[in-house]
Structure 1
Amino acid sequence: MGIDWVPASGFQLRKAGIHFDAVRVDGDDGRRLADLLGRLTGGDPGPVVTEANGRQGVYFLLPAGSTAHRCWPRGVTRFNSATGQVSYVPVPALSGRTWPLAWRFPPADGHRFVHPLLLRSAAAELLSPRE
């Protein structure tokens, strides 16, 4: 499966805004959000990367240009190429040794990504403080 932005082995940083934008949600909140998206999409929400160390981030890969001009709930970090911003996203290979990164949901192809509105709505519901 030759997706040009996925490395053949290990992992690499990819510049956001070229092939995709991304949002990161750290820790248990990120994992709960990935699980929720998986349930909402029948197990195929688009590419999602998890990080096993550090802040234990969960990276949701979205279409390029889709994150900069949207409001996102607290707890979401955006990675894009908006004016004056350069962001890099860690991307693991599809197999082999990629620790500390892994695919929670691997890409089905190189052009289908997490749906921005679905992700933003799910994140707002999950991450918004309860009254």
Structure 2
Amino acid sequence: MRLDAEVIDALLARYSDDEDAMDMIVDALEAFEEYHRAIYALELTRRMWSAKAIDAERYRAETAARDRTRTLGHNAVLVRMNGLNRLAEEAGLSPVYDGVVSKERPYRRQAADAVLAFVEDVIRGRA
């Protein structure tokens, strides 16, 4: 499952004159990157621990805080994916994400992977 970049672009065009809808779309897209960053920060802490660059106390504290940030970010992403899908439906478009958006496994991970792939595609395609 992937996020449909063409549908996202269509939403941006369709709602360009609707400030509330644009805020919702941009908020969702920014939440995707914030989630990406939260994962990176958590993995960086794990890497520092593996390299013995931080002590056990700091590792535990940072891992707990960063894992919480990641979880909250993940939950926010799921809510925003549902919002984008609702906007797409209202506009007569196909869903932005046509998989199951749920906090349950394996759907939770599939949705997260779709968001991460989308963010990485945006970064790879930058001008």
User: Please, what TM-score do these two structures have when normalized by structure 1?
Assistant: 0.27
Structure possessing the higher radius of gyration over alpha carbons? 2
User: Please, what TM-score do these two structures have when normalized by structure 2?
Assistant: 0.28
* More helix by percentage: 2
* More strand by percentage: 1
